[in-house]
Structure 1
Amino acid sequence: MMSKWILLGAGGVLAAFASGCLVSLDGDSDAVVVPGDPVGEMDFNWTIDNAADAYDCSFYALPGSALDLEMVLFDDRGDLVTREYAACEDFSLSLVISAERYYHAEVTMVDAADRSLAISTTQTLSDIWVEPETTVDLSVDFPPSSMQ
């Protein structure tokens, strides 16, 4: 029985390497890069009702919970690159990613206690081009109507 689990674990590690993407932590930002590729950075900022006010995060959270921002990043083929979470009150998320390629992102405010419970409209950012050694600044606003 134990050898089955070891074999499954080894298979998962090999699958991660075969995908070509490595995810590693680099300070406060995550790195999502293909080994040997040039890299760039993506800084993503958000607001609620055009303001970065922590009160709004608690106001729209379900009782006894908190809000997180969920960012799902896809490559130009639609393959998942990474799924990242940040506390709503951070209003910022940075990623180091492979450059010279297109991405698109889906961002949603989610309940931190139950990440599967989306309480806001998902917003999509398309045709994000990342240049080597540069930072792409992206932002989105969640209007009050999307937070119901």
Structure 2
Amino acid sequence: MKTSLSAVALFLALPACAQQTPAPAPAAKDADPALWVVKDEDTTIYLFGTVHVLKPGLSWFDEAVKSAFDGSKELVLEMVEPDAATMQQIVLSKATQPAGTTLTASLPEPARGKYLKAMTDLGLPAAAFDNYKPWFAA
């Protein structure tokens, strides 16, 4: 019996073995973001032109940028980041459904069925995220 099962398993596995390995993805092109160096006798400062939107296939973390990051003791960003409590308040103010609406009711019918099934499959009450907008519940 073991031999028969092994033969069947081998037979079923052969098509998978015959598949070709996918071609490797093309190499990313170097984006060369702006990187300036300001230094004196005891301090080196790198000013880095951040990349907010980048076309697919471009690479910005090249040798010069990586060396600057790796050789730095401190990273300072140009954005102001509020404390955790303030951030939580901001996110919740944007994530909450308007009064009188629910997440479940705001979903289109096909999505609503999938959502309710997912909640059931996870063992969660259907209304667990009803106070939130879809992007936050996701």
What TM-score, normalized to structure 1?
0.22
Q: Which has the higher contact order (CA 8 A, sep 6+)?
A: 1
Task: Please say which structure displays the higher CA radius of gyration.
Answer: 2
What TM-score, normalized to structure 2?
0.23
